[in-house]
Amino acid sequence: MATAASGTLGDAAGAEVVGQAGFDVSAFSKRVSRDADVRHVWDAGTFYPQILGGVKNALNGLQFGFGIAPSRLATAFVTHNESNLLLYSDAAWTSYQLGTLYAVRDPNGATITSNVFASARSTSALADPNDVHGFYQDASIAALQRRGVMFFACNTALVQQAHQIANSGVAKNQSVDDIARTLQHSLLHGVTLVPSGVAVVAFLQSRYHYAYLTEQ
């Protein structure tokens, strides 16, 4: 179980973001509104990577328990606050020492220095949902993306994190804007940056009737 220091990102002075240049609302709406039998949105705020296992379990239950085809599922995973860390590349984790800055530790108490939650971990090619080493028991972000999960990262939290990184002194000769741009370009492949994660959660529930799920 990986852990992170408690707290909020709202303490970063002057980091509020009310808009995001280049955000395509029409493209976003088209993507999340596709026809589906079950729509669910996972709200990831507090850093709790075990939530990825919850998503995996939900997909397995819906597919193998209720017989719903993967193509008929619409699953959104929205990060904000410290959970944005799940969606940054190894390069960002290393350059900005994110594991140290946010006190992210493995079960043995050692600092996690790279994004160990991103890459696929399955080692078996068997399509058996009960195979613990197989694809259907892989809760990595890469595996969940292959199963159709849409990942959205909060730009407001990203900018707040850029302030915290700048204040830590680890990003020498980089301004807050420089750090924010680097973080934006360091998002994992396939992740969509949105102006506000919590706004997306509300929008998906009210406009497109996504069921709300979370773990922490």
Q: What pLDDT digit, counting tens, does each position of 39-84 carry?
A: 999 999 999 999 999 999 999 999 999 999 999 999 999 999 999 9
Is residue 17, in this structure, part of any structural domain at all?
no
Is residue 30, in this structure, part of any structural domain at all?
no
pLDDT band at residue 148, thresholds of 50, 70 and 90? very high
Report how far residue 155's alpha carbon sits from residue 19's, in angstroms, rounded to the nearest whole number. Answer: 9
Is residue 8, in this structure, part of any structural domain at all?
no
Is residue 44, in this structure, part of any structural domain at all?
yes
- 105 in Cβ contact with 116 (< 8 Å): no
Domain count across the chain? 1
Is residue 84, in this structure, part of any structural domain at all?
yes
- Could you give the C-alpha distances from 131 to 124, 125, 137, in angstroms and in order? 8, 10, 7
Q: Cβ contacts of residue 68 below 8 Å, gap of 6+? A: 37, 38, 62
Is residue 22, in this structure, part of any structural domain at all?
no
Task: Tell me the pTM.
Answer: 0.91
CATH number, domain of 144, equals 3.40.1260.10
Task: Specify the 3-state DSSP secondary structure of 57.
Answer: helix
Report how far residue 8's alpha carbon sits from residue 140's, in angstroms, rounded to the nearest whole number. Answer: 25
**Element at 151 (helix H, strand E):** strand 150-154
Is residue 100, in this structure, part of any structural domain at all?
yes
Domain that holds residue 45: 37-213
